[in-house]
């Protein structure tokens, strides 16, 4: 992208590196999000949105090729909630 922005700036097209970033980051985010949403809906339509509904997973689980999921309860370290609060507050300050 840096090479392309250099070419565009040399030809005086009016496009700068910042303009390319302002287009490419949202386009990448929207494309990725749209694709993830499409695949999620596709799996729901086929009925394979849960692993217990996928025959291949059930076969591998029975054969011992994969281990069953573990449900662990994790305890937060002291101060973890405070650090998240500080991070969000700093993010708000920087973005406003």
pLDDT in tens, 18-44: 888 888 899 999 999 999 999 999 989
Output DSSP code: residue 65. Answer: S
Cα–Cα distance measured from residue 89 to residue 16, given in angstroms and rounded to the nearest whole number: 32
Q: What is the pLDDT of residue 1?
A: 65
Residue 80 has pLDDT above 90, yes or no: yes
Cα–Cα distance measured from residue 14 to residue 21, given in angstroms and rounded to the nearest whole number: 14
Of 50-54, 65-69, 82-86, minimum mean pLDDT range = 50-54
What proportion of the chain, given as a percentage, has pLDDT over 70? Answer: 97
The tokens 């849960």 sit on which residue? 50
Q: What is the pLDDT of residue 65?
A: 94
* Residue 95 CA, distance from chain mean position: 21
With the C-alpha atoms ordered 16, 22, 25, 31, is the resulting torsion angle positive or negative?
negative
Which tops the pLDDT comparison, 15 or 84?
Answer: 84
Q: What is the pLDDT of residue 30?
A: 97
Residue 67 has pLDDT above 80, yes or no: yes
């Amino acid at each position: 992208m840096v090479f392309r922005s250099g070419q565009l700036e040399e030809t005086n097209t009016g496009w700068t590196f910042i303009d390319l970033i302002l287009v490419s980051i949202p386009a990448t985010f929207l494309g990725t999000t749209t694709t993830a949403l499409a695949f999620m809906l596709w799996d729901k339509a086929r009925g394979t949105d849960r692993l217990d509904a996928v025959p291949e997973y059930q076969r591998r689980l029975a054969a011992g090729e994969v281990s069953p999921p573990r449900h662990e309860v994790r305890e937060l370290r002291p101060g973890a909630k405070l650090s998240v609060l500080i991070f969000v507050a700093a993010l708000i300050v920087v973005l406003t």
